[in-house]
Amino acid sequence: MTVGFIKQLLNACILNGEDDLEREVYTACGSDMMSDVLAHVDDQAVLITGLCNPQVLRTAEMMDIICIIMVRNKQPDESMIEMAKERDITLLTTELPMFTTCGLLYNAGLRGGSQHG
């Protein structure tokens, strides 16, 4: 699935990464606890979260996540958008809640995975 397809499916706004909409992604995780992302996920290309702070971008960088979807219409400030640009991380925001976002992506074929199961 491409990042562009995700953007369309979730009726999301793109805040960074307009040139990366053709990037393919195969896995995702949804969490508001970055410690869980660090401890339990492996090979996730997309992070779905309700958090809107710089730690999300730092975590994504450490885990080689290429796309962050902020749910519930969270709007990062300009410094976060600049951080995403510097780290080549696509940043999307959607009005949908996390549960709906995860469900739509799962139904469309995106899967999760973890080191522990």
| 96 domain residue, yes or no | yes
Residues 50-73 have a mean pLDDT of 95
Q: Which residue's structure tokens are 């979730």?
A: 10
| 52 domain residue, yes or no | yes
**Can you give the residue range of the structural domain that contains 77?**
3-107
pLDDT tens-digit profile of 71-81?
A: 999 999 999 99
| 61 domain residue, yes or no | yes
Residues 11-24 have a mean pLDDT of 96
- Please tell me the total count of domains within the chain: 1
Which CATH number belongs to the domain containing residue 40 in this structure?
A: 3.40.1390.20
| 76 domain residue, yes or no | yes
| 64 domain residue, yes or no | yes
Q: Which pTM was predicted?
A: 0.93
